[in-house]
Structure 1
Amino acid sequence: MTLLSNRVWAVFAVLATIFTLWSVPTPASAQVTAFKQAVAEAASRDKDIAAFYQANGYKSIWTGRSGRERKRRAELIKTLNSAGNHGLPVSRYDPDGLVAKMKAAQSPRDLGLVEVEISRVFLQYSRDVQTGVLVPSRIDRGIVRQVPYRDRTSYLVNFVKSSPSGFLKALPPKTQEYTALMKEKLRMERLLAKGGWGQKVPTGSLEPGQSGNAVVIMRNRLMAMGFLDRSAGQTYDAKMTAAIQQFQLAHGLAADGVAGQSTIVELNRSVQERLQSVIVAMERERWVNQERGRRHILVNIPDFTAKVFDNGKLTFETRSVVGATNSDRPTPEFSDVMEFMVINPSWYVPRSIVTKEYLPALQRNPNAVSHIEITDSKGRRVNRGAVNFSQYTARTFPFAMRQPPSKGNALGLVKFMFPNRYNIYLHDTPSKNLFNRESRAFSHGCVRLADPFDFAYTLLAKQTNDPKGLFQSKLATGAEQTVMLEQPVPVHIVYRTAFTTPKGHTQYRRDVYGRDAKIWNALSQAGVALRAVQG
């Protein structure tokens, strides 16, 4: 060996000695190392938690002795214990179990494992209370809503920078509706503790003027529900008729004051059933926990209404017809943005209707559905007499179908467009009689409006001083006219069987598609439970 090489090896030997001395852990550093190794090991099962702890050097944020960490874990445990107030599955977070694990931790490794477990529970709760316990698309294929999920790692990053109580309190939706639903939930839980609304009405129907035991039971139930002042009357009199009308209005029924079959069915629903509806509505509210838009359109499927809100206030409302209950027709739930309206629209018949309804009719009679044009791939009108419809199947039928603008057009005289993959929009209809029905699920999926012209005037009022004149001038041409909205309007198609109003009783509606029943079953399986609250 040369002298130079001997010196190099000597330097390596010195460096190796120094490295060895640095790497020999003292008792304190051994504890730190054991803690960090445990954190790294436990966090590796969750990429978001792992990313957070890797970025912070595997330091504790919960289990340390500092006042800040003590406050964090105390606030989290308090919050988890009150998760039931939000209709959340407290058993999923197991706050008592977390406390027991913290108390049982004897070594740095134990603390490292508990550290990660607390972060896991924290993330689970944060997402549940902010954007929902369930994944909507897994519950029903008609719930195609895009939930505004937040980045999971950001919860931890922002939490350590914030006041623990302030951060946790900011997670749930801050809408007036969510707050009101929480109050209604507590009211129902107190009613449940008191035994509910009493005996159910033991008959299929009652009419004004009747008397007897069933009328007395109905009177008592109406009083318990808050629709009738205290009374000793035993006859279905004017006051009881007015109370029934108020009940009917609050439950989406025809307000005729007669306790017919549908009214008795709704009147006899239990506190438990209504409480389930409220909890489901809270979960649904979490799915849309984002800015709705200063002006926005809200279509509530079970309520059969379309409403316009400006700065949180209802400014327009109209009745609607929604998709029928057939398997392929229910209206989907989603949000989008309305961009324009088409006056004197053509109806381009959806492929599903062409092949399932019109093709079989044409095969029986080539002149069937004569008000609909048959067009080729270039949009040219096809001579029916030159086509042998029997040779085609639903898969091979090469034509499209179109209904030109007219008063009898299936879309009526105006349609409101928010282009979406589901081909759903709001529109007029020549079938006005359906709006007089109590339940209005009849369409192929799109939403029909009872007052489409007034709806158009409301939308156009933001961009012209004469919305009616503008609309009517376009309508008078008889030709298809597109009017862009200068300020596109968010549209939210929702499904609420329980919702609140600024004044009066909470509104309840029938579960027209059975979606809320599915959601409740899923919530129940996740650990959500009804509870009775004293007080």
Structure 2
Amino acid sequence: MKTFYPLAIIIVVSFFALSFNKLDKNGLTTRTLSSYSTSNDNDVVDTEVLNDFFKRYSDLKKYQNEVTSLYKNRSYETIWYSDNKITEFGKVLHQKMKDADDQGLEVNIPYREEIEQIFDKKSKEISKSDADMLLSAAYVIYMRNVYEGLDAETVKKTGWLLPKKKLSYDTLLDSLMTNPTLLEKNNVLLFDQYYKLEGALKKYKQIEADNNWKPMTVATPYKDIRPDEKSITVAQIRNRLFIMGDLKTDSKSDFYDRELMDGVMHYKVRNGLKPNYIIGEDHIKDLNEPIGDKIKKIMINMERCRWISPKLVTDNEYVMVNIPSFELVYVKNGQVELVSNVFVGSQLTKTSIFNGNIDKIVFSPYWTVPQSIVDNELKLKMAADKNYLADNNMEMVNGQVRQKPGAKNSLGLVKFIFPNPEDIYMHDTPSKTLFDFEKRTFSHGCINVQKAKELAVAMLKDYPEWTQSRIDDAMAGKEESTFKLPNKIPIYITYFTTWVNDAGEISFYQDVYNRDSELNGLLFPTAEMAAN
């Protein structure tokens, strides 16, 4: 009997030692759930426990500050357990993490196997405190990816200068704990266009799964396809338009008939192309683009939606210009007041992506020619023709060349000022024929508006003194005149190469500045790049 008690003590001590220092298959020291079952403080996650956790789960170290803040603001109690069971929100979060690809994401959440063990009723590998902290870290990672996207500095390097929204993980957690369904849709945190693109993503992934998106046969050299023509390519175009929803049925006919004409017109209008029945080589390239590339485009634009504050579309009045669609939308009193075609900067003089506030409307504007244009374009013309300035309604003032007001003025009859470092503004143009082109990148960076006069009239509706007659006279003036808007109008210059309208139809626009390619490399690096 003298040796029995020491031996028992040794066995008990050894048992608890193993319980508290069990190594998982990754070499991590974990504590079993059983070790906490008799503890009085198993619902507390203090700073010491947190520090120990991040030493053992070192791949989560970068998220330590955010995770610690979650516990600090909740008196260091466990977050994901209620009555020793995972909360409803914890279960919802787990499922959303598993379905992250539905959000257009490739989310890398470390220790996924350990997280899966938390939800495996048969597993006793992960302690309650470790499980809670793993879920807190996973929450931060998931929310950062889905609701914030790339960090602000990286976003800025892509040329996106619109202000990036900021996210409070603490505030968001409180609302989600109360109402987990907000994880499905939350218009307070995500730009509404995001959810529309999410629906389009599901549709195009289904198209990919159905394996009906086959490469089309195209004759070489290519010849434009017109109504009444007959070829295998016509039948393939018909099938493609049916798959995308531009045609309700697929007759399989290889004859370019009236039904196909309607489908082609719907396809072109939907994608912001010149509305006619001619199918050119660029249209075939677009229709023949691999389905995987279409899906990537949707995912890339979902990422852009993560950067934008949802308040953008809740303003009572604003102007939104989307560069790839060459389109301006003016919203007033919460309703679309005007839509206009625009043309934007060329590859060498790209229109910037940013926001501002329109504070002035200038009628019959002078155009002070930028010195770079004078040096690169006008000097040779002025040297070759001494009457060049006078013939083009220009004059030299204080050493600068400026164009006088008039119908031939490069700024047209009106311009809209929103102060910015790039010195970009919107204006009318005498070059109306340029709006007939599908790819409209002609300016030196400013936004040329086809319906500039109509836009001015719409903006001045709330000012009775600005009658139609007064506006007409101001636009026909020999001298410049300016109206300072009492209420500034927000303007957002954006870059979306895919967009879903209220009817659920998706548009694919030209990546005119090759910004999709750059963002694609950041979001979906190749295995080789990721290894480096």
Could you say which TM-score interval applies, normalised by the shorter chain?
0.7 to 0.9
Superposition map of 1:125-204 within 5 A: 125-133=142-150, 135=152, 137-138=154-155, 140-156=157-173, 162-166=178-182, 169-170=185-186, 175-203=191-219, 204=222
Distance apart, 1:469 and its partner CA: 2.7
Unaligned 5+ runs, structure 2? 1-37, 55-60, 528-532
Aligned to 2:71: 53
Is 512-521 or 405-414 further displaced after alignment? 405-414
Aligned to 2:337: 315
Confirm or deny: 8 A CA contact 1:201 1:218 kept in the other structure: no
Partners of 1:65 and 1:71 in 2: how far apart?
Answer: 12
Aligned to 2:328: 306
Confirm or deny: 8 A CA contact 2:246 2:263 kept in the other structure: yes
Aligned to 2:353: 333
Aligned to 1:79: 96
* Structure 2 CA distance for partners of 1:105 and 1:521, relative to 1, 3 Å: farther
Confirm or deny: 8 A CA contact 2:147 2:190 kept in the other structure: no
Q: 2:139 aligns with which of 111, 122, 125?
A: 122
AA in 2 matched with 1:508 = F
Aligned to 1:446: 446
Percent identity at matched positions? Answer: 24
Superposition map of 1:95-110 within 5 A: 95-100=112-117
Are residue 456 (structure 1) and residue 456 (structure 2) matched? yes
Aligned to 2:403: 403
Distance apart, 1:185 and its partner CA: 1.0
* Structure 2 CA distance for partners of 1:47 and 1:369, relative to 1, 3 Å: farther
- Alignment coverage as a number of residue pairs: 473
Partners of 1:214 and 1:30 in 2: how far apart?
Answer: 72
Aligned to 1:416: 416
Distance apart, 1:366 and its partner CA: 8.6
Confirm or deny: 8 A CA contact 1:344 1:479 kept in the other structure: yes
Confirm or deny: 8 A CA contact 1:129 1:171 kept in the other structure: no
Partners of 1:165 and 1:502 in 2: how far apart?
Answer: 23
Confirm or deny: 8 A CA contact 1:339 1:418 kept in the other structure: yes
Are residue 62 (structure 1) and residue 80 (structure 2) matched? yes
Distance apart, 1:177 and its partner CA: 2.7
Is 365-374 or 218-227 further displaced after alignment? 365-374
Is 208-217 or 263-272 further displaced after alignment? 208-217
Are residue 290 (structure 1) and residue 306 (structure 2) matched? no
> Residues 313-339 of structure 1, C-alpha deviation per residue, up to 9 Å, x if partnerless?
43211110101012xx11111222222
Partners of 1:215 and 1:357 in 2: how far apart?
Answer: 46
Is 358-367 or 50-59 further displaced after alignment? 358-367
Confirm or deny: 8 A CA contact 1:227 1:246 kept in the other structure: yes
Confirm or deny: 8 A CA contact 2:415 2:426 kept in the other structure: yes
Confirm or deny: 8 A CA contact 1:80 1:95 kept in the other structure: no
Superposition map of 1:176-255 within 5 A: 176-203=192-219, 204=222, 205-228=224-247, 229-255=249-275
Distance apart, 1:419 and its partner CA: 1.2
Helix, strand or coil: the match of 1:330? coil
Looking at both structures, which has the greater relative contact order when contacts are Cα pairs under 8 Å and sequence separation is at least 6? Answer: 1
Distance apart, 1:119 and its partner CA: 2.1
AA in 2 matched with 1:238 = R
Helix, strand or coil: the match of 2:76? coil
Distance apart, 1:303 and its partner CA: 0.9
AA in 1 matched with 2:295 = L
Distance apart, 1:473 and its partner CA: 3.4
Q: 1:258 aligns with which of 278, 292, 295?
A: 278
> Residues 448-491 of structure 1, C-alpha deviation per residue, up to 9 Å, x if partnerless?
01111011111111333864233223234422211123332221
Partners of 1:163 and 1:333 in 2: how far apart?
Answer: 35
Aligned to 2:13: none
Partners of 2:39 and 2:210 in 1: how far apart?
Answer: 58
Partners of 1:190 and 1:446 in 2: how far apart?
Answer: 40
Confirm or deny: 8 A CA contact 1:324 1:443 kept in the other structure: yes
Unaligned 5+ runs, structure 1? 1-26, 376-380, 383-399, 528-535
Aligned to 1:7: none
Aligned to 1:392: none
> Residues 97-154 of structure 1, C-alpha deviation per residue, up to 9 Å, x if partnerless?
42337877768xx654554443232122223222324547547543212111123454
Partners of 1:500 and 1:363 in 2: how far apart?
Answer: 51
Helix, strand or coil: the match of 1:525? coil
Distance apart, 1:312 and its partner CA: 5.2
Superposition map of 1:350-361 within 5 A: 350-354=370-374, 356-357=376-377
* Structure 2 CA distance for partners of 1:483 and 1:224, relative to 1, 3 Å: same
* Structure 2 CA distance for partners of 1:47 and 1:467, relative to 1, 3 Å: farther
Partners of 1:233 and 1:482 in 2: how far apart?
Answer: 59
Give the TM-score, by structure 1 length.
0.78
Superposition map of 1:272-283 within 5 A: 272-283=292-303
Give the TM-score, by structure 2 length.
0.78
Confirm or deny: 8 A CA contact 1:130 1:289 kept in the other structure: no
